Structure 1
Amino acid sequence: MAVYTQLDKDDLNQLLTDFDLGSLVSFKGIEGGIENTNYFISLIKDGAKREYVLTLFEELDHEELPYFIELCQWLSDRHIDVPFAIQDRNGIGLKRLKNRPAAIQPRFYGEHVGQTDLTPEHCAAIGKVLGEFHVAARDFYLKRQAHRGVFWWRRESELIAPKLSVEDQKLLKDEVLRFDQLRENPSNIEVGTIHGDLFHDNVLFQGTEVSAVLDLYNAATGFLLFDLAIVANDWCSNPDGSIDRQREEALLKAYNQARPFTEGDREAWAILSCTAAMRFWLSRLIPWLDKNSEQKLKDPDELKRILLFRRQNPSQLPD
């Protein structure tokens, strides 16, 4: 979340004329994040004050966004706490403001929990919610190719290879190949709608309970287990790249209760936990090695350490 597009009171009042949400009281830009412009907006209606989040989409265009608008509404209708576009008087949720696609969404309350403060209880809570998310989205009627999926990492791993050490070139190539081999013989690994970016800073907590899952704009169709692996690598890792077994066990057991693992899942877990680490290692390497990149930099070695640990210490899914 960040502020790339500046808005004034007139901009917001013009947008609000299409809605029955009330009158503008105040607004404030939300700092942080790297993709969209976000504002908290306070409105008053019939004497009651309510809070919303206005998002202006800076990267996704109007043609790409219906997938995400429909998905968030679908999940919300099935009691998954995610932001969704509130519809105007004509039933339209996806609007346009300052030549950007825009949506007004409910504001969720809670706290982000720092990575070093995550406990087994936090991990169990997100495991349960992610399993419920996957079950709720099982019959979702739209499909989407991941923006940074298999075709992306095949291409980008080749393009970036000349900038890497021989050792890192081989590590990337090996992981791309391992996933390709799995993809050719996927057994009964369940495919469905995934969040695609469920790092700890995309979740709000109240105590140890999840109050909202945020930022679904990397959602796509993929292996459900890959989504779980993204969570395990981020939520259960230590600074040295090792995996905290207590946190991972809590995560996996809670997820399994919401969506039981298949035998194919059990066979694929060791590979997909590496694939998830490789994918985010690569996406961090690209801007890190580009001297002209204006993207917010994150340390790629964090994911490389996790990848190496996963390769040397594969874990197993619980019964």
Structure 2
Amino acid sequence: MAVYTEVSDDDLVRFLESYPLGTLLSCKGIAEGVENTNYLVRTEQGPFILTLYEKRVHREDLPFFLGLMEHLAQNGLSCPTPVRDRHGVMLQELAGRPAALVTFLDGVWIRRPRVDHCAAVGKALAELHLAGRGFEIRRENALGLAGWRPLYERFRARADEIFAGLGALIEGELAHLEASWPRDVPQGVIHADLFPDNVFFIGDRLSGLIDFYFACNDALAYDLAVCLNAWCFEADNSFNLTKGMAMLRAYDAVRPLEPAERASLPLLARGSALRFLLTRAYDWINTPEGALVKRKDPLEYVRRLRFHQSVASAGEYGLEKR
């Protein structure tokens, strides 16, 4: 249950009085999600999501996250939009936590993505990258290349508890990526965490993108590499070339990839796989049994990383030649 902070009825009513949304009709905690406390709030004006930001989200990052969602929505992307109060303020305080109200987005996330879902995600990701142009606030990627080695050092001594040789694998990959990471590719606002549970569909139609709390400025093609890892591998961790081709073709049709991006895609995919391997490994070691957050298996990303290490060109992901 992802309700870490309880909100009393009286506090919620007082909180909502500063918004022009009418009378509170109902409020229910939302079980999904691991970073923040979320409630589904219904007022006379409709449903909204109330988020209380917990300790893993830094208060100083919230103007970026909220401002970005508003900017993307204003530029045509379907995503939750922060609601401003009667004084034009987006960020409030509730139950001792920073809090914000955002619009409700209809849809469900897909447990078993098909080829058409992957194509829809590729198109939506390109639209996000275009819509993000002109957003003036910057946020560095705390989980980008510069953050990977410090994160690894926090569990390096225990890495081989997950499996023998994991430490050597990570150290070798870090050395390779630090020496070879592409720096001449287009940069911009990226989602950085566009996994299936952050993409909503209504039937076969993609209805919107959610959870922008890892968003930052980084290589746009790195965001595409994250999606290849998140959407195009099967349960046995084999890469589905048909899904990769559908995603890349749909992305490239909206925002054509530059030659440097095409050439660097295998390296960016390796970096993406290492990023999620590192965070999963850290959580695997440091999350106590019985915690509210369910640990995710880091070995999935060991297998994906090894696949990417064998890839010589973006064509092996299904990216067609121009």
Instruction: Find the counterpart in structure 2 of residue 302 from structure 1.
Output: 300
- Name the aligned partner's letter for residue 2 of structure 2: A
Instruction: Find the counterpart in structure 2 of residue 263 from structure 1.
Output: 259
Q: 1:152 Cα shift?
A: 1.9
- Secondary structure of the corresponding residue to residue 212 of structure 2: coil
Q: 1:150 aligns with which of 142, 145, 152?
A: 145
- Secondary structure of the corresponding residue to residue 128 of structure 2: helix
- Residues in 2 aligned to 1:44 and 1:291: alpha-carbon distance in whole angstroms: 41
- Residues in 2 aligned to 1:78 and 1:182: alpha-carbon distance in whole angstroms: 35
- Tell me, yes or no, if the aligned pair for 1:194 and 1:220 is still in contact at 8 Å: yes
- Secondary structure of the corresponding residue to residue 112 of structure 1: coil
- Please give the residue correspondences for 1:1-319 in structure 2 after superposition, counting only pairs within 5 Å: 2-45=2-45, 50-59=46-55, 60-114=57-111, 117-165=112-160, 167-183=165-181, 186-187=183-184, 189-290=185-286, 292=288, 294=291, 295-314=293-312, 315-316=314-315, 317-319=319-321
Q: 1:61 Cα shift?
A: 3.8
- Name the aligned partner's letter for residue 112 of structure 1: W
- Tell me, yes or no, if the aligned pair for 1:182 and 1:268 is still in contact at 8 Å: no
Tell me the TM-score normalized by structure 2.
0.92
User: Which runs of at least 4 in structure 1 moved beyond 6 Å after TM superposition?
Assistant: none
- Secondary structure of the corresponding residue to residue 5 of structure 2: coil
- Residues in 1 aligned to 2:131 and 2:33: alpha-carbon distance in whole angstroms: 27
Q: Which runs of 5+ in 1 are unaligned?
A: none
Q: 1:151 Cα shift?
A: 2.3
Q: 1:292 Cα shift?
A: 4.0
- Name the aligned partner's letter for residue 139 of structure 1: G
- Residues in 2 aligned to 1:172 and 1:260: alpha-carbon distance in whole angstroms: 32
Question: Aligned pair in 2 of structure 1 residues 67, 110: CA closer, same or farther (>3 Å)?
Answer: same
Q: 1:62 Cα shift?
A: 3.1
- Name the aligned partner's letter for residue 263 of structure 1: P
- Tell me, yes or no, if the aligned pair for 2:61 and 2:139 is still in contact at 8 Å: no
- Residues in 2 aligned to 1:13 and 1:159: alpha-carbon distance in whole angstroms: 43
- Residues in 2 aligned to 1:154 and 1:61: alpha-carbon distance in whole angstroms: 21
- Secondary structure of the corresponding residue to residue 196 of structure 1: coil
Q: Which runs of 5+ in 2 are unaligned?
A: none
- Residues in 2 aligned to 1:90 and 1:290: alpha-carbon distance in whole angstroms: 42
- Tell me, yes or no, if the aligned pair for 1:239 and 1:302 is still in contact at 8 Å: no
Tell me the TM-score normalized by structure 1.
0.93
Percent sequence identity over matched residues?
A: 35
Name whichever of 285-294 and 297-306 sits farther off: 285-294
- Tell me, yes or no, if the aligned pair for 2:287 and 2:295 is still in contact at 8 Å: no
- Tell me, yes or no, if the aligned pair for 2:72 and 2:132 is still in contact at 8 Å: yes
Q: 1:120 Cα shift?
A: 1.0
- Residues in 1 aligned to 2:218 and 2:20: alpha-carbon distance in whole angstroms: 38
Q: 1:147 Cα shift?
A: 2.3
Question: Aligned pair in 2 of structure 1 residues 182, 191: CA closer, same or farther (>3 Å)?
Answer: farther
- Name the aligned partner's letter for residue 81 of structure 1: S
- Name the aligned partner's letter for residue 245 of structure 1: L
- Residues in 2 aligned to 1:40 and 1:292: alpha-carbon distance in whole angstroms: 29
1:45-71 Cα deviation digits (max 9, x unpaired): 5xxxx1111111113243221011111
- Secondary structure of the corresponding residue to residue 124 of structure 1: helix
- Name the aligned partner's letter for residue 86 of structure 1: V
Q: 1:291 Cα shift?
A: 6.2
Number of residue pairs matched by the alignment: 311
- Name the aligned partner's letter for residue 100 of structure 1: R
- Name the aligned partner's letter for residue 3 of structure 1: V
- Residues in 1 aligned to 2:211 and 2:250: alpha-carbon distance in whole angstroms: 22
Aligned-residue CA RMSD in angstroms? 1.7
Name whichever of 242-251 and 138-147 sits farther off: 138-147
- Name the aligned partner's letter for residue 256 of structure 2: P
- Residues in 2 aligned to 1:38 and 1:159: alpha-carbon distance in whole angstroms: 29
- Name the aligned partner's letter for residue 49 of structure 2: V
- Secondary structure of the corresponding residue to residue 34 of structure 2: coil
- Residues in 2 aligned to 1:159 and 1:249: alpha-carbon distance in whole angstroms: 37
